[in-house]
Copies of this chain bind each other. A is one copy, B any other.
C-alpha cells in the first residue's frame, strides 16, 4: 500500500492556526485506519501537532503496527501524535462530571485541554444526588479559570456550579440516561434553561468542543494586552 495522497477523502485546513490560533484536528469516527494513517503523516509532514477524537482501538492498533508514533487513550478514545506539543496556554480548566458514566466525554475534554497546552483538573462523580461530594471539592473548583461541567441524566451539575463560582462554565450534556429525554435531550434542555447565569452549552457528548471553547477563553489573556 503506497503512501498516496489524501486529497480524495480529506482537505486539511492547516491554515486554521493562523486564522484562529488553534490548529486543525481530526474527527476519527467513520475514517478507515489507513485514511487515519495518511492523515497523521500529513500532519507530521506539515510539522503540526495532531489530535484525533472518537477513535477506535482498531484504528489505534493499525497506526501502532504501521509505525506511527502516537499515544492512544481508550477511555477518551483520543490519539495524539508524539513529539510536537503545542505551546503552553496559562490557565486551569476544571473538568467535572455528574456520574461515572460521563467520564469518557470528560476525558475527551480534559485531554483536548492538555493537547492545546493548558492544565486540566479532573473532578469526577460529583453529581447533585450526593451534594456533599460537590461541596467537598468547592475549593478546587474555585481555583479554576474555566469550568467544564459534563453531565447526563437531569444535567443539573453546571447550574449548581455556576451559582457557586465566578468562572465561566461550559456545560456538556451527555447521552447518559434512558426513557423520556434519552440521548441527551434531558440534560441539554436543562442546561439551556439553567436558572444560573454564566453558563453556555455545547452539543451532546461534545467534550472536544467544550475544551476548545475553554482554551479560546484562556488564550484571550495574552492577546488582550
Contacts and interface: CB of A to CB of B under 8 A. Distances in A.
B199 A190 contact: no
B219 A21 contact: no
Instruction: Bin the interface of chain A by size.
Output: 35 or more
Interface in A186-225: 186-206, 209-210, 212-213, 216-221, 223-224
A195 B126 CA distance: 12
B200 A210 contact: yes
23 contacts: A11-B124, A20-B162, A20-B163, A22-B198, A91-B224, A99-B195, A129-B195, A129-B197, A131-B131, A154-B191, A154-B194, A156-B156, A166-B216, A178-B203, A178-B204, A180-B185, A181-B193, A186-B193, A192-B201, A192-B202, A192-B203, A201-B201, A217-B220
Closest 4 CB pairs of A and B: A179-B204, A156-B156, A181-B189, A200-B200
Interface of A: 9-11, 13, 15-16, 19-22, 25, 30, 90-91, 98-101, 103, 124-125, 127-133, 145-146, 152-156, 159-160, 162-168, 170, 173, 175, 177-206, 209-210, 212-213, 216-221, 223-224
